[in-house]
Amino acid sequence: MDRVLAMQVFSRIVELGAFGKAADSLGMSRASVTQLIKQLESHLGVQLLQRTTRQVRATLDGQAYYQRCQLLLADIEEAESFFSQTRDNPQGLLRIDLPASLGHRVIIPALADFCARYSKIELIVGSSDRPVELVREGVDCVVRAGDIHDLSLIARPLGQLPQITCASAAYLNKFGTPQNLEDLSVHRAVNFASALNGRVFPLEFSVNGKLVTFVQPGSITVTNAEGYVAACEAGLGIIQAPYYHLREQIEAGTLREILAQHRPPAMPLTALYPPQRQLSRRVRVFVDWLVELFSAEQWSKGADK
């Protein structure tokens, strides 16, 4: 029995909660995975996994073994990187998840550069605005905008996303352009609710260095960035969003910035990954590449006052 492979297989089953999903993610047959786990449990003399009709869960012994496996596997990967070409050219699968709009507009279009530098890394890219459970879903790294809610993850700041307040040209032609915050009393907003807890985010404005918030009435609430901007373009109200997502519409004149003297604070952008992936060379080079991308990227150009 290859004990390192057995640990990798066991860890993947715990993370994905199913033998079949683990087998697919590792490019192995389900029969091979099942046999390897039987051999591992026999070798250790304990039951590591509890199987039900719907899911596979780690037993108490399995949970303890999983934590040890993560440390050992990370140490092995790091040690091997010092004595092989993978130190400069890491290889293997890297599962990442990106915010849908930022992924489609900024990160994915730039990935050709990353793939050229690290040709032996195979990327599996998801794009969503929902919270992702990294360990359970087998994701190595996520990029998220806004506040960080899972403090158990390692966080690497990537930069700040400039934000603006805007509305469609059609909406402003119909209801007028607010010149100051008091004018908002006769306007409506497209409201954005957290996919995590359903909380509606207020509009935020900077006034003399202080943050002022408004809970603005509206006829529609959305839970993803694409729907948020689409509702604004449809003339349903005022929104606040990162400039990169609005640049094309602003330049085309279909959306117009308002209240530029009171712009909302910039939105923090962060890469997140589980502590057990901290030593992964694949994760480290990808996050370093993201830092470089967002320090040099010109997607926020034009948002400056």
Q: Are 107 and 269 in contact (CB under 8 A)?
A: no
- Helices 19-26 and 30-44, interaxial angle, to 10°? 110
Indicate whether 170 and 260 sit together in one domain: yes
CB-based contacts of 60-63 (< 8 A; 24+ apart in sequence):
62/10, 62/14
- Of 51, 82, 113, the residue at which a domain comes to its end is 82
Indicate whether 191 and 59 sit together in one domain: no
> 48-72 burial by CB neighbour count: b if 16+ within 10 A, else e?
bbeeeeeebebeeebeebbeebbee
User: Is residue 246 a part of any domain in this protein?
Assistant: yes
> What was the pLDDT predicted at 277?
65
Q: How far, in Å, CA of 181 to CA of 185, rounded? A: 8
> What was the pLDDT predicted at 298?
54
Per the structure block, which two tokens stand in for 109?
């279009």
Sign of CA dihedral 240, 295, 94, 108: positive
> What was the pLDDT predicted at 75?
74
Indicate whether 53 and 173 sit together in one domain: no
> How confident is the chain (305 residues) per 10-residue block, as mean pLDDT?
90 87 87 92 93 84 87 74 61 87 92 93 86 76 85 89 95 96 94 85 93 92 92 97 93 96 94 77 91 73 52
User: Is residue 304 a part of any domain in this protein?
Assistant: no
Q: How far, in Å, CA of 233 to CA of 227, rounded? A: 10
Residue type, 235: G
Indicate whether 168 and 261 sit together in one domain: yes
- Of 67, 82, 97, the residue at which a domain comes to its end is 82
User: Is residue 41 a part of any domain in this protein?
Assistant: yes
> What was the pLDDT predicted at 133?
76
Residue 38 domain boundaries: 3-82
Indicate whether 77 and 168 sit together in one domain: no
- Tally Cβ neighbours within 10 Å of residue 42: 10
Closest CA to 285 of 8, 88, 77: 88
> What was the pLDDT predicted at 131?
74
- Nearest 5°: phi and psi at 48? -95, -30
- Of 82, 106, 134, the residue at which a domain comes to its end is 82
User: Is residue 303 a part of any domain in this protein?
Assistant: no
Closest CA to 105 of 232, 226, 191, 283: 226
Indicate whether 93 and 226 sit together in one domain: no
> What was the pLDDT predicted at 73?
81
Indicate whether 224 and 273 sit together in one domain: no
User: Which CATH number is 280's domain given?
Assistant: 3.40.190.10
Indicate whether 202 and 172 sit together in one domain: yes
User: Is residue 302 a part of any domain in this protein?
Assistant: no
Indicate whether 74 and 93 sit together in one domain: no
User: Is residue 232 a part of any domain in this protein?
Assistant: yes
Closest CA to 155 of 267, 50, 278: 278
Indicate whether 129 and 175 sit together in one domain: no
CA angle 221, 233, 105 (to 5 degrees): 95
- Cα 270 to chain centroid distance, Å, stands at 8
What radius of gyration do the chain's Cα atoms show? 23
Strand (E) or helix (H) holding 161: strand 154-161
Q: Are 162 and 301 in contact (CB under 8 A)?
A: no
Indicate whether 149 and 289 sit together in one domain: yes
User: Is residue 230 a part of any domain in this protein?
Assistant: yes
Q: How far, in Å, CA of 213 to CA of 194, rounded? A: 17
Indicate whether 48 and 74 sit together in one domain: yes
User: Which CATH number is 42's domain given?
Assistant: 1.10.10.10
User: Is residue 22 a part of any domain in this protein?
Assistant: yes
For the chain, the domain total comes to 3
> What was the pLDDT predicted at 250?
95
